[in-house]
């Protein structure tokens, strides 16, 4: 296992910090501060920042690098691509998932019901659930593409699971997805995922509309 202070892991350390909400969209990342925080030299931090900028996880604000954020059109594009790929993953999982994997997926849903009141924890659990389906697809190329898509989730300013009632609805939708996988119904699994993500996107649009401030325009 790579030690946390391994210079070669500067990229992973920064990426995990963004993913866990330590750094949020709009936060400025300073090379020297990051080197001190992670106990590594500035060279691997600089290289990691350059890589993250290339991957569009960071953007330029003058001479500074900040954690990127997604605008309305980018969010729409994100959900469109995610729906296509996640649907395919669920369809393949319906064909290839082992009985053990299916039992794990059902178990994850029941465990996640205990944290409905904590949107941040539920958001992390949601990502673990979807990743489990990705792995059950048995397609390494698809998994790799989905890893890139899910990385962009950290750039969304707020989880849709924070909306009132959305946590319970989301877990019910997860149950429908796994039921289709368990019944070995690829088309139904695909449709269930697309429905799930459509509702998530709709919820996010409502949250964004509610937080809109014309004075900032």
Claim to verify: residue 58 and residue 89 sit in the same structural domain: no
Claim to verify: residue 89 and residue 158 sit in the same structural domain: yes
- Give pLDDT tens digits for 149-165: 988 888 886 788 888 89
Query: Residue 120: pLDDT above 90?
Result: no
Claim to verify: residue 120 and residue 24 sit in the same structural domain: no
- Give pLDDT tens digits for 39-73: 999 999 999 999 999 999 999 998 899 999 888 89
Choosing from 34, 49, 67, the residue where a domain stops is 67
Query: Residue 2: pLDDT above 80?
Result: no
Q: Which CATH number fits the domain that encloses residue 53?
A: 1.10.10.10
Q: Which CATH number fits the domain that encloses residue 192?
A: 1.20.120.530
Claim to verify: residue 76 and residue 91 sit in the same structural domain: yes
Domain count, the chain: 2
217 found inside a domain: no
Claim to verify: residue 55 and residue 79 sit in the same structural domain: no
Mean of the pLDDT values across residues 179-186?
Answer: 98
Question: What percent of the chain has a predicted confidence (pLDDT) above 70?
Answer: 93
Mean of the pLDDT values across residues 96-124?
Answer: 96
101 found inside a domain: yes
Claim to verify: residue 119 and residue 186 sit in the same structural domain: yes
41 found inside a domain: yes
Claim to verify: residue 57 and residue 77 sit in the same structural domain: no
Q: Please tell me the predicted confidence (pLDDT) of residue 142.
A: 98
Claim to verify: residue 102 and residue 122 sit in the same structural domain: yes
Claim to verify: residue 83 and residue 181 sit in the same structural domain: yes
Query: Residue 182: pLDDT above 50?
Result: yes
57 found inside a domain: yes
Please give, one letter per residue, the 3-state secondary structure of the chain: CCCCCCHHHHHHHHHHHHHCCCCCCCCEECHHHHHHHHCCCHHHHHHHHHHHHHCCCEEEECCEEEECCCCHHHHHHHHHHHHHHHHHHHHHHHHHCCHHHHHHHHHHHHHHHHHCCCHHHHHHHHHHHHHHHHHHCCCHHHHHHHHHHHHHHHHCCCCHHHCCCHHHHHHHHHHHHHHHHHCCCHHHHHHHHHHHHHHHHHHHHHHHHHCCCHHHC
190 found inside a domain: yes
Q: Please tell me the predicted confidence (pLDDT) of residue 209.
A: 82
Claim to verify: residue 26 and residue 120 sit in the same structural domain: no
Segments forming the whole domain that contains residue 78: 72-210
């Amino acid at each position: 296992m790579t030690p946390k202070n391994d210079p070669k892991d500067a990229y992973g350390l920064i990426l995990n910090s963004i993913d866990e909400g330590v750094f949020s969209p709009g936060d400025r990342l300073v090379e020297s501060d990051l080197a001190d925080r992670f106990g590594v030299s500035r060279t691997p931090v600089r290289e990691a920042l350059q890589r993250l900028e290339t991957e569009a996880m960071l953007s330029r604000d003058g001479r500074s690098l900040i954690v990127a954020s997604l605008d309305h059109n980018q969010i729409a594009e994100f959900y469109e691509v995610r729906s296509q790929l996640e649907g395919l993953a669920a369809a393949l999982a319906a064909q290839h998932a082992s009985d053990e994997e299916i039992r794990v997926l059902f178990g994850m849903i029941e465990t996640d019901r205990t944290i409905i009141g904590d949107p941040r924890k539920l958001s992390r659990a949601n990502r673990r659930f979807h990743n489990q389906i990705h792995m059950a697809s048995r397609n390494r190329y698809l998994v790799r593409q989905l890893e890139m898509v899910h990385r962009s989730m950290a750039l969304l300013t707020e989880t849709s699971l924070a909306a009132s009632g959305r946590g319970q609805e989301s877990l019910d939708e997860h149950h429908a997805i796994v039921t289709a996988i368990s019944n070995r119904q690829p088309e139904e699994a695909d449709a269930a995922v697309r429905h799930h993500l459509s509702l998530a996107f709709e919820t996010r649009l409502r949250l964004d509309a509610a937080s809109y401030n014309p004075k900032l325009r």
